[in-house]
Structure 1
Amino acid sequence: MTVTPRERVLTALAHKQPDVTPWQIDLTIDARDNTARYLNDPDFERKIGNHLAGYSDGYFVEIRPNYWQDQFGIVWNRTIDKDIGNVAEYLIKEPDLSGYRFPTPDLERNAKGCERLVAEHPNEFRMADLGFSMFERAWTLRGMEELLADMVLHP
């Protein structure tokens, strides 16, 4: 009987010994491109037997070359770091949220994404994530130094 990657992960999560240790190999954009070129196989990731498949509610829109905007309105400069990038400009300039409007979650988009995840990855362990925690989201909106100062000066 063949054990699926999903079953291996569930076995490990139950603190039991699976037939082999589940693995997940994720690569940066540059590493993925270099590996695909080296192997002469742009589809190599589907063949390495990863055990996890995920869906994230975060999405980015390229607004100009190497600059991507997320659903919170933050623009990420990806000229050097192509995977995450650096915040191009902090949106909350003062310790006051009244001028910022948080995005409404796109529940329909998320539901379709989760349905697609289940349909396309029946044998992998499936998971969903929020991308950034509240702290990470706060510093991307305000800036790390400003956020930390705000925590002391404006609790």
Structure 2
Amino acid sequence: MDKMWAEGRSVFQKGNIMTGRERVINCIKHLETDRIPHYIELGSEELEKMRQFTGISNYQNTLDNDIDMVGIDGGYTEATNKPGYFTDAFGVCWNRNGVDKDIGVIDSCILCGPEDLKSYSFPQIKEEQVREKLKQLSENGRDTFKAASISFSMFERAWTLCGMENLLVFMIEEPEFVHELLGKICDYNCRLIQIALEYDIDGICLGDDWGQQKGMIMGPEKWREFIRPQMKRMYHQIKCADKYVIQHSCGDIEAVFEDLVEIGLDVYQTFQPEIYDMADVKRKIGDSLTFWGGISTQTLLPFAAPREVMEVIIRTAGIMKGKGGYILAPTHAVPGDVPAENIEVMAEIFRNQEKYFY
């Protein structure tokens, strides 16, 4: 253990205390920071568990995150005649009565084929609500890195409308339809981005899962054909405003890391240790990308004892910290199956890195 701590210390450098915003921006620029920037987001079940465990009603605020992020893409409205069912801004009905209480699974398809797109109307952006969220974010009084988030930003939005299997088949059999659909989704997102860029924020996070546990859902070739052109449009819009681009994708997307750097990506989230050889990826592309994640919500936090959680966090920091480029975080919003004790030890290390890393 002492050896591991020493190895962790060797990659850190103390300096003047930075604000969260300064820390994250220096990190993205691959400059040294006073400590590793960190971020913890708890899912609704886990957040309630921590409130009960600690007796602190505003527990999320005690985590001292270096990043504040708010979603601007619509959200859900409960369907009053079907308890547990929710309808999103695009008209897709979600069933949350199963295992996934935070998102759910789609109940039925809206676009069953190319002909349905002709009659489908994209939702009107609720601009007043979006602007109020952005105003609160930009004026919250905290010296944090502030990001607006658009989830289901491309592939995910398309498959929620069509169905996953249908969309993958359409990529082969109806490519013109897929290009048209993704283009319309991008148009919608670009308007959201345009609104967000009017506010004093630092970046935009685009959420869109492309990966499986091994490899990409649609494969890198189809990703380059259909997804890359639309992501490039959005990245370009963000970069032209001198803001940072953050891309969330679960799963193995290493095959397109270089594509993402080429079109302007700054930060990749989420970096899953059960998928990536972290040291190898850091060595190969760590000078070009900042990686966000590394602390597994899949295999570590739900099952390990607190001592192991501590050891893995210290070891991960030692691998990833060199030359900036790393945001210390769980690999996803923490689900409800994680013991409260593991959240507490993770939060303690994140907040008090000088006790563990230096």
The corresponding residue for 2:76 is: 60
Give TM-score, length-normalised by structure 2: 0.41
Q: Does 1:85 align with 2:104?
A: yes
Q: Does 1:95 align with 2:114?
A: yes
Counterpart-to-counterpart distance in 1, 2:162 and 2:48: 33
Counterpart-to-counterpart distance in 2, 1:104 and 1:121: 31
Counterpart-to-counterpart distance in 2, 1:42 and 1:83: 19
Counterpart-to-counterpart distance in 2, 1:147 and 1:121: 43
Counterpart-to-counterpart distance in 2, 1:28 and 1:154: 37
Report if the CA contact (8 A) 2:67-2:144 is conserved. yes
The corresponding residue for 1:49 is: 64
Moved more, 21-30 or 102-111: 102-111
- Cα deviation, 1:49-70, whole Å, max 9, x if unaligned, reads 0111112222211123321111
Counterpart-to-counterpart distance in 2, 1:62 and 1:124: 32
Instruction: After TM superposition, give the deviation of residue 121 of structure 1 in Å.
Output: 4.7
The corresponding residue for 2:27 is: 12
2:162 to 117, 142, 153: 142
Q: Secondary structure at the match of 2:139?
A: helix
- Cα deviation, 1:15-54, whole Å, max 9, x if unaligned, reads 1111110111111211111111111112111011011111
Name the Cα RMSD after superposition: 1.6
**Structure 2 unmatched runs, 5+:** 1-15, 176-358
Report if the CA contact (8 A) 2:47-2:59 is conserved. no
Which residue identity does 2:42 align to in structure 1?
Answer: L
1:129 to 149, 154, 157: 149
The corresponding residue for 2:88 is: 70
- Cα deviation, 1:72-122, whole Å, max 9, x if unaligned, reads 011111112111111111111223211211112233332222111111253
Counterpart-to-counterpart distance in 2, 1:149 and 1:45: 42
**Structure 1 unmatched runs, 5+:** none
Report if the CA contact (8 A) 2:42-2:60 is conserved. no
Q: Aligned pair in 2 of structure 1 residues 121, 85: CA closer, same or farther (>3 Å)? A: farther
Counterpart-to-counterpart distance in 2, 1:152 and 1:14: 40
The corresponding residue for 1:40 is: 55
| Runs of 4+ in structure 1 over 3 Å off | none
Counterpart-to-counterpart distance in 2, 1:24 and 1:47: 12
Instruction: After TM superposition, give the deviation of residue 142 of structure 1 in Å.
Output: 0.5
Instruction: After TM superposition, give the deviation of residue 137 of structure 1 in Å.
Output: 0.6
Which residue identity does 2:111 align to in structure 1?
Answer: I
Which residue identity does 1:53 align to in structure 2?
Answer: D
The corresponding residue for 2:219 is: none
Task: Report how many aligned residue pairs link the two structures.
Answer: 155
Counterpart-to-counterpart distance in 1, 2:168 and 2:28: 36
Report if the CA contact (8 A) 1:53-1:121 is conserved. no
Counterpart-to-counterpart distance in 2, 1:27 and 1:53: 13
Instruction: After TM superposition, give the deviation of residue 2 of structure 1 in Å.
Output: 4.7
Counterpart-to-counterpart distance in 1, 2:51 and 2:65: 16
Which residue identity does 1:93 align to in structure 2?
Answer: C
Give TM-score, length-normalised by structure 1: 0.91
Greater percentage in helix = 2
Report if the CA contact (8 A) 2:69-2:137 is conserved. yes
Counterpart-to-counterpart distance in 2, 1:91 and 1:139: 10
Q: Secondary structure at the match of 2:86?
A: strand
Which residue identity does 2:77 align to in structure 1?
Answer: V
